[in-house]
A and B are shown apart, each in its own frame.
Chain A
Amino acid sequence: MNLNKSWKSVFIITAAIYVISLVVGILIHAVMPQLETPDKLIVPQSYLQQISAMKTISIEDAYSDYTNNDAVFIDSRDNAEYREGHIKGAISIPYDRFQQYYPLYQKLLTKDKKIITYCHGTGCGLSVDVAKDLMAIGYTNVYVMTEGWPGWIDARLPISVGKEP
């Protein structure tokens, strides 16, 4: 009986903490308009710092390069995700396997060529990682397409499924 009673108080306290937090959280959000979250995602500060040091490109500009065949697209996501779907013609260099995958496409990636990296979209740093790796070995014409794969899909632009670019 006593034990049951003590467990009951544990659950009551837990529930009280959750309910109070929910109410406080929602109230504070409601009364402080500066905390209002816009429709567009606000990305972590650390990501903004990373991305501010990079050249970025919008979906529209990237697509214009795509149609003119002016750029090589690099998918920096996991290889399995690449196989599930990627920008048509994009090559796969997963962010954590740069050393392994870069040599495969070295011929394609001439230093004068424009290179566009992408991953899961705003807030995703994988494309920044790959862009940095490329810049470290002398590439200068490297751009990060910040809106990434989700942006490309939303714009209903050409994609390809499978392991071939």
Chain B
Amino acid sequence: MERKCIINFALMRPVIVFILRVMLGIVFVVAAYGKLLHPDVLVSTVINFNILPMELAKIFAYTLPWIEMIAGIMLIAGFGIRGASFAIGLLLVSFIIAIGINMHRGISMECGCFDIFGMNEKVGSEILFRDILFLIVAVSLVFTKDFMLSIDTYLERKQKK
């Protein structure tokens, strides 16, 4: 009985990995889209986080949505999955540190995470928890080898032939 369960899980694994991968990709494409629509808001949000100096904060704000967009699309398409996951993981680490610092300061501020839905999220433990969950998914993807329905796997098989 127990053995059967293990076998089933092994069969399910690529499917779970596929779902998590595409979900993470969609989350980041959506987040990036909202940020690209309102670049000015993003700049002030990053500045309000009060961590980077003004000029660096601006550069971070210009770059951030594109990292999210490119890495998100790569995850959905299944191209360079591990690299894209690593890129997203690094972003999430920076978010977690920034949120942590501002929670420690006791400052309530706009998160600016998903501007597209007009979500007025305030930085707090829920968002910290959510980012940690995303980070766990991203890190797991970095350590995964085979990906179902992906350009990576297709190219690898073609190369072997």
Contacts and interface: CB of A to CB of B under 8 A. Distances in A.
Interface of A: 6, 9-14, 16-18, 20-22, 24-26, 28-29, 35, 37, 41-47, 77-78, 80-81, 95-96, 120, 122-126
Nearest to A24: B66
Contact of A123 (B39, B69, B87, B109): B109
B87 A14 contact: yes
Interface in B42-61: 43-45, 47-48, 58-59
A12 B82 CA distance: 11
A80 to B, nearest CB: 6
A81 B107 CA distance: 9
* B interface SS class: helix
18 contacts: A13-B86, A17-B71, A17-B83, A18-B87, A21-B64, A21-B66, A21-B67, A22-B62, A22-B66, A25-B64, A28-B62, A29-B39, A29-B62, A45-B38, A78-B105, A78-B107, A123-B109, A123-B110
A13 B66 contact: no
Given A20-B70, A42-B43, A120-B107, A13 B87 contact: yes
A17 B87 contact: yes
B20 interface: no
* A interface SS class: helix
B65 interface: yes
Interface in B64-107: 64-67, 69-71, 74, 80, 82-84, 86-87, 90, 105-107
Contacts of A46: 110, 118, 120
B44 A44 contact: yes
Contacts, number: 115
Interface residues of B, number: 40
A88 to B, nearest CB: 22
Nearest to B43: A37
Contacts of B63: 18, 21-22, 25-26
B98 to A, nearest CB: 15
A20 B62 CA distance: 12
